[in-house]
Amino acid sequence: MKTIDELLADGVSGKRVFVRADLNVPLADGTITDDGRIRAVLPTVKALADAGAKVVVASHLGRPKGAPDPAFSLLPAAERLGELLGAPVAFAQDTVGPAAHDAVDGLQPGQVAVIENLRFNPGETSKDDTERGEFADRLAALADVYVGDGFGAVHRGHASVYDLPARLPHYAGYLIATEVGVLKKLTEDVKRPYVVALGGAKVSDKLAVIDQLLGKADRLLIGGGMAYTFLKAKGYEVGISLLQEDQVPVVTEYMERAEKQGVELLLPVDVVVSRTFPDLKTKAPTENTVVDADKIPADQEGLDIGPKTRELYASKLADAETVFWNGPMGVFEHPDYAEGTKAVAQALVDTNGFTVVGGGDSAAAVRTLGFDENAFGHISTGGGASLEYLEGKTLPGLAALED
């Protein structure tokens, strides 16, 4: 995989460089609530601009239905990118139409343009190779060189991620190079103890990675909504908590495998429960209690790990040399149920080992809860991509950057 440093060494002054970024930032009423992904691509964009390239930045945002939708416009992201760069950023209101060509043609060396949400064109996500290829051809007409730096999208076989690199000289940007380097530390010559903390809503989203990690990790700490399927597999009442009943047999098998292989698989010993799900907009205080994990009332749901579990998990993270954390321990968006996620984040900060926050909600939680990002070894920009890499899957966007 060639890197951007090799591209810069060859010289890019005056060249049109297409940067496939991941500007898929969360928006609330058109306002960006977390600009982490924009900041993550800054080093690549700035290096190219400083070297005199005409930089064309492209990304998806959300899941529009293959047609323009103002709710998913990249304009706020383009404006924020300009603020962070300290320089104007042109914005094209289409992807490969007249506006995109005008924006790119108007660039002077060292300037940057952002084209509109790639998913406004059905060719970006099409399952039809021909349709996707035609869109990639039209994107290729905007550039001389391709730089892949949207790690959060590399597990997607989309036109701008997979097909476009084959049509242009291609290089990996700084973010992708960093992310791959980090993931190799989690899969090759891992320093031990190796502890993995997994949370989030659905256990089905994590089954494949648990399957892989049972042969690699020393300890697995389970929390979040997915924990209740494990607790159900132990025969516990889980009330109205999140539950994937159909996954109970698989989870049971994994617990048995963990025991046979000497892997500590830890589940919550106590949980914070409530009869109602909290209002995440008003964040109004709720009525809740802490109960042992085997005593969840039938009419209540678990919304966070309890204080005993927080202490237990922190102790299991304390001596870790390598930590991977993906998925919050509870409904961290509400202050009544953020303590479990906060405790795990703090445990990562306190350990002397190499710590990786695996993107998605975990990364959002770190920032929402006020932690210093520099206190962690690495905060990934791609939760799904990170998980699929750890599962041992081939990621289309990385394969496309290989020579």
Q: Which residues are annotated as a binding site?
A: 22-24, 37, 60-63, 119, 156, 206, 302, 333, 359-362
Distance (Å, rounded) from C-alpha 229 to C-alpha 124?
A: 36
Identified catalytic residue from 15, 16, 20, 37? 37
Beta bridge partners of 284: none
Distance (Å, rounded) from C-alpha 339 to C-alpha 369?
A: 10
Q: 186, 162 in Cβ contact below 8 A?
A: no
Residue reference for tokens 């800054």 = 42
Q: Looking at 277-382, list the stretches that DSSP marks H as alpha helix, in order from N- to C-terminal side.
A: 307-317, 339-350, 360-368
Q: How many other CB atoms are there within 10 angstroms of residue 321's CB atom?
A: 15
Question: Which run of H or E residues covers position 16?
Answer: strand 16-20
330 alpha-carbon distance from chain centroid? 18
- Catalytic (active site) residue 66: no
- Catalytic (active site) residue 132: no
- Catalytic (active site) residue 37: yes
In terms of Cα–Cα distance, which of 79, 71, 121 is closest to 100?
A: 121
Annotated binding-site members for (2R)-3-phosphoglycerate:
37, 119, 156
- Catalytic (active site) residue 382: no
The first and second tokens of residue 11, run together, are 């010289």
Distance (Å, rounded) from C-alpha 39 to C-alpha 314?
A: 30
Question: Which run of H or E residues covers position 290?
Answer: strand 289-292
Identified catalytic residue from 360, 382, 383, 397? 360
The first and second tokens of residue 372, run together, are 């210093």
Distance (Å, rounded) from C-alpha 306 to C-alpha 138?
A: 53
Identified catalytic residue from 173, 353, 383, 384? 384
Annotated binding-site members for ATP:
206, 302, 333, 359-362
Q: What is the distance in angstroms between the CA of the first residue and the CA of the last residue of the chain? A: 6
DSSP secondary structure letters along 175-194: HHHHHHHHHHHHHSS--SSE
Identified catalytic residue from 39, 202, 216, 234? 202
Return all residues near 31 (Cβ < 8 A) that are at least 6 apart: 76
Q: How many other CB atoms are there within 10 angstroms of residue 26's CB atom?
A: 14
Annotated binding-site members for substrate:
22-24, 37, 60-63, 119, 156
Distance (Å, rounded) from C-alpha 248 to C-alpha 230?
A: 7
Residues catalogued as catalytic: 37, 202, 360, 384
